[in-house]
Amino acid sequence: MFFREIRGQYYGLGSLLCDKGTDLFPENLTFTDDFFEVIDQLNIRPLIQCKFIGDEYRCSAVFTPIILDEGVCYTFNMMNRDEIFKENVVHFSNYHKNENKSEWHIDRGYSKDSTLNAYPLRALLSGADNSIQVTFMHFQSDTDYICVEDVLGYSVLLHSPDTIPQLKKQYFQVPFDTVVIAAVQPIMMTTSEQVKKYDPFDRECYFADERWLKFFKIYTPGNCRLECITNYTLKQCGCVNFYMPRDNSTVICGNGNWNCMKNAERKLKLIQLKNHLSYTDEEEDDIDLADYCDCMPLCTELSYSIEQSQTEWKWNEQLVADRMVEDNKLQKEVFHFSKLSVFFKLDQFLTSQRNELYGPTDFLANFGGLLGLFTGFSLLSLMEIIYFLTLRIFCNRRQYRVWAGNVDKN
């Protein structure tokens, strides 16, 4: 009976990782840090081979474990947690932690004295031979069909090094027993110095160091949205979800609060939509529009366009051909292997820039041109007006004793 109770608590803690099935296990309104101990004890290490620009690395040396909305994930080239989060944020163990100090900033790029090996690591050339290549291995016995809704495999997303991503928002799939090739094209938006002097609400963007956040040192729209849903969930439920940033005084919501967290997320989406449309509904007074977070884009924004292709991977036959295993020793009923290759498509890419539509010089030029077009007015006409109103009158008074009219010669 004791072991059954312990196992029930174990599954109850783990049920928060699924979007369904939370009612199958004992419900608790809040969880302690034992939740993270359970996640850590799962000890699933799917990365078995990692290559970058042709060189092989230990996966644990280049991939950092982090906790996202889908559970434990692994990230490449992400900044250390001390550079992203503020000191008041609670962390568990070594998640979100690496020993590399960043030499990169979204507004300024890499520092002038940075070397080719500066962190975050740079793909110095484009093409598939300069890719990052990852091989995954999965035991079929580790598959939990309660949590699976779509294709069996791995979810992958690309994000900037200073952003905590949300995997449910945007990702592409790497199915089991499949090779996926992803060709990446960066999309970058910058902002001119002339626009920087305007108010953020006029230019409709923030610089990374311009807006204060409670949990993050660096402003990004993704960090802002995560903080926004965190604050709103805390207000509605008295706790936060396991992946949300928190301080020591905030508890983790248990599976008994699953419906409350989902309702808070749905309400916040309604708030965002209504504020975007400037729409109000008197029947929903319980939604305070003041809780809406206006997470405007970055003035220097980096995103990625991905072209992907995939094919079936006959890994068993390949391993046998390479004499790495004996024939039929690895069965697909027991193991699944997948491979992902990501590389830049081109050596160069075009950037866009926010500029003033009409600066002071543009305004004067357009104003003078329109005035000259419709009234025949020009700078020469202005000089003539000044001449007749000042110098001409002065000379007439001095020479002829009258300022205007005919001169009496008698």
Q: How confident is the model at residue 307 (pLDDT cuts 50, 70, 90)?
A: very high
Among residues of the chain, what percentage have pLDDT more than 70?
79
Whether the per-residue pLDDT at 4 is higher than 50: the answer is: no
Cβ count near 285 (within 10 Å): 8
The residues facing 191 across adjacent strands are 354
Whether the per-residue pLDDT at 401 is higher than 80: the answer is: no
Asked if 92 contacts 36 with a C-beta cutoff of 8 angstroms, the reply is yes
Express each pLDDT in 181-231 by its tens digit.
Answer: 999 999 999 998 888 888 888 888 999 888 899 999 999 999 999 999 999
Highest mean pLDDT among 76-85, 251-260, 265-274: 76-85
Whether the per-residue pLDDT at 341 is higher than 90: the answer is: yes
Higher pLDDT, 382 or 67: 67
Whether the per-residue pLDDT at 141 is higher than 60: the answer is: yes
- What pLDDT score was predicted for residue 5? 46
Domains of the chain: 47-220+298-354 (2.60.470.10), 371-400 (no CATH)
Asked if 89 contacts 71 with a C-beta cutoff of 8 angstroms, the reply is no
Q: Is 189 buried (19+), middle (13-18) or exposed (0-12) by CB count in 10 A?
A: middle
Q: Is 91 helix (H, G, I), strand (E, B) or coil?
A: coil
Q: Is 65 helix (H, G, I), strand (E, B) or coil?
A: strand
- What pLDDT score was predicted for residue 6? 45
Give residue for tokens 């799917």. Answer: 46
Q: How confident is the model at residue 252 (pLDDT cuts 50, 70, 90)?
A: very high
Whether the per-residue pLDDT at 409 is higher than 60: the answer is: no
List the structure tokens of 225: 């949205």
Q: What's the whole-model pTM score?
A: 0.81
Between helices 221-237 and 258-277, what is the axis angle to 10°?
120
Q: Is 243 buried (19+), middle (13-18) or exposed (0-12) by CB count in 10 A?
A: buried
Whether the per-residue pLDDT at 125 is higher than 50: the answer is: yes
End-to-end alpha carbon distance in the chain? 134
Q: How confident is the model at residue 331 (pLDDT cuts 50, 70, 90)?
A: low
Express each pLDDT in 11-35 by its tens digit.
Answer: 666 677 776 655 666 678 888 888 8
Express each pLDDT in 259-280 by its tens digit.
Answer: 899 999 999 988 888 777 765 5
Asked if 193 contacts 267 with a C-beta cutoff of 8 angstroms, the reply is no
